[in-house]
Structure 1
């Protein structure tokens, strides 16, 4: 529009008269332009002079180098959680026990499995008493190897259990030296 340059400043009486004299615009384009000009004029009147305007520096804004407020990878977040909760030793033991075959060898790992780690004691279950005996003989080397990889005194004792046997004790009030399985089989 060529008459844009000759328009009076928004908010002046001449502008208000001109706004009322504009014919109906079905698209609303002229109304949008007039509204934008009026808003701009109000903003310019409220704005302080450029010499007074100072840009404040935010002392906690992120710079060019990474810091704790930047997005983190999931693995780093999990590591921070483990460290904060004090679970590092427990997680390290579980990770190492997940590689049981590398610790004791493939043949022994085939017939034994770690069951529990609590109070610096590792409990291992075997398939037979022969494998339990072999693992008991190997227990001091296993403790030394675990402590070497996990840190001193992480594992103090390895308890080796034989195969699971059925329990004939039922309930808390059973007879301690009762007949047991003999009365069942004959």
Structure 2
């Protein structure tokens, strides 16, 4: 029965006409193979869904490990490079070896360049010779592309140029000889 037939059927008015139209629409949908809309859900107009329980399988609503959540936050905020640089500082003795870590320490990390300060000029020279090997070790421990270059500094000497009035020259020297 089509809507024209329902409207043309004599004597139906108001609620009876609406019921007949609804039955005709359901019969037409059944002929076409369309499933009916269940009560409690919105049809094509709304997107209301019933609550489903997660059950025994994994689900996005399940509690997540803290490490996974921290990694997601770090990635969203762009902290991954800084955190990787922090791992180099924290794991320095394990990455480069105990003996080398006793004589050299990381000082700064910026844009993939790690600045390392050595105890003596001899160790600074040794670090410069081992530069490629150190970058490989760090990449194996922390990840590729974190440290792209290594800048080696010698021991820090005292600065004699301080104060508002300083005399030009090399600073205090032995005057007894």
Counterpart Cα distance in 2 of 1:169 and 1:61: 73
How high is the TM-score relative to the length of structure 2?
Answer: 0.59
2:152 to 157, 160, 168: 160
1:63 maps to: 54
Matched, 1:84 2:70: no
Counterpart Cα distance in 2 of 1:150 and 1:99: 9
Q: Could you tell me whether the CA contact under 8 Å between 2:96 and 2:137 is conserved in 1?
A: no
Counterpart Cα distance in 1 of 2:130 and 2:70: 35
Residue-pair matches, total: 131
TM-align CA RMSD: 3.0
Query: 1:43-84: CA deviations, max 9, x gaps?
Result: xxxxxxxxxxx5557456553244444443332221111111
Q: Could you tell me whether the CA contact under 8 Å between 2:106 and 2:116 is conserved in 1?
A: yes
2:36 maps to: none
Matched, 1:72 2:64: yes
Counterpart Cα distance in 2 of 1:149 and 1:107: 17
In structure 2, relative to structure 1, the CA distance for the partners of 1:150 and 1:103 (3 Å cut) is closer
Q: Which has the larger radius of gyration?
A: 1
Once the two structures are TM-superposed, the CA of residue 143 in structure 1 deviates from its matched residue by 2.1
Q: Runs of 5+ in structure 1 lacking a partner?
A: 1-53
Matched, 1:127 2:115: no
Counterpart Cα distance in 2 of 1:93 and 1:169: 33
SS at match of 2:162: coil
Where do 1:138-149 residues align within 5 Å?
Answer: 138-149=130-141
In structure 2, relative to structure 1, the CA distance for the partners of 1:135 and 1:102 (3 Å cut) is same
Q: Runs of 5+ in structure 2 lacking a partner?
A: 1-38, 42-47
Query: 1:136-168: CA deviations, max 9, x gaps?
Result: 111122123334555554322211111121112
